[in-house]
Amino acid sequence: MILPIVAYGDPVLKKKAEDISKDYPNLDALLINMFETMYNAFGVGLAAPQIGLPIRLFLVDTAPFSDEDLSEEEQMKLKVFKRVFINAKILNEEGQEWAFNEGCLSIPDVREDVLRKPIITVEYFDENFKKHTEVFDGLIARVIQHEYDHIEGVLFTDKLSGLKKRLIKGKLNKISKGEIDVDYRMRFPNAKKKR
Ligand SMILES: [Zn+2]
């Protein structure tokens, strides 16, 4: 089932999300629905707050990025990287910050360069509640960092300079009101009620 994606301006996107337990109700169905929702919108990641749930859960599938102009080795890695992250914690970020042009399913049509460190160590549980501690780099780390920010209540637009923020303010306002063309299902916090 395709779920509506919550748009910029909804308070759930600003909330620090909570850990879940193994017994979280209907987790399997939730994961299936979230993957379907993400693929439908051609996303490479989706976090639970983006479908209105303030829980520490996000998905990543970097296959669409494997078309980018990258080494064959990196392309192969991206093609098969599909993962569920539950109760994730970034333990370490290292290396020289690099810029990448990010977008977000909750903020359609806005893309900006964001600086992040290239190598991260993440502790998380997978969909079977098996615990992992893993090091990621490159675009995979980038997507994880973006999704991780969602469960911390942070959006990539929060990381922009004051000037950039002022420049996109009008656009963000429009998005929150639903005054935007988007070809996937969304829920807008400030949409005028239809009669
Ligand atoms: Zn996002």
DSSP 107: S
- Write the DSSP string, 111-161: -EEEEE-SEEEEEEE-TT--EEEEEEEHHHHHHHHHHHHHHTT--GGGGS-
DSSP 105: T
pLDDT at residue 96, as a whole number: 98
pLDDT at residue 194, as a whole number: 62
Q: How far is the CA of 195 from the centre of ligand 1 (A)?
A: 31
Q: What is the pLDDT along the chain (195 residues), one digit of tens a residue?
A: 999 999 999 999 999 999 999 999 999 999 999 999 999 999 999 999 999 999 999 999 999 988 878 889 999 999 999 999 999 999 999 999 999 999 999 999 999 999 999 999 999 999 999 999 999 999 999 999 999 999 999 999 999 999 999 999 999 999 999 999 999 999 999 998 765
pLDDT at residue 63, as a whole number: 94
pTM: 0.96
pLDDT at residue 20, as a whole number: 98
Using DSSP's 3-state secondary structure scheme, residue 147 falls into helix
Is beta strand 186-187 parallel, antiparallel or unpaired with respect to 112-116? unpaired
Q: How far is the CA of 4 from the centre of ligand 1 (A)?
A: 14
Q: How far is the CA of 157 from the centre of ligand 1 (A)?
A: 10
As annotated, the active-site residues are 147
Q: Which residues surround ligand 1, an ion (CB under 5 A)?
A: 104
pLDDT at residue 164, as a whole number: 95
- Round to whole Å and give the CA distance between 74 and 180: 34
pLDDT at residue 112, as a whole number: 97
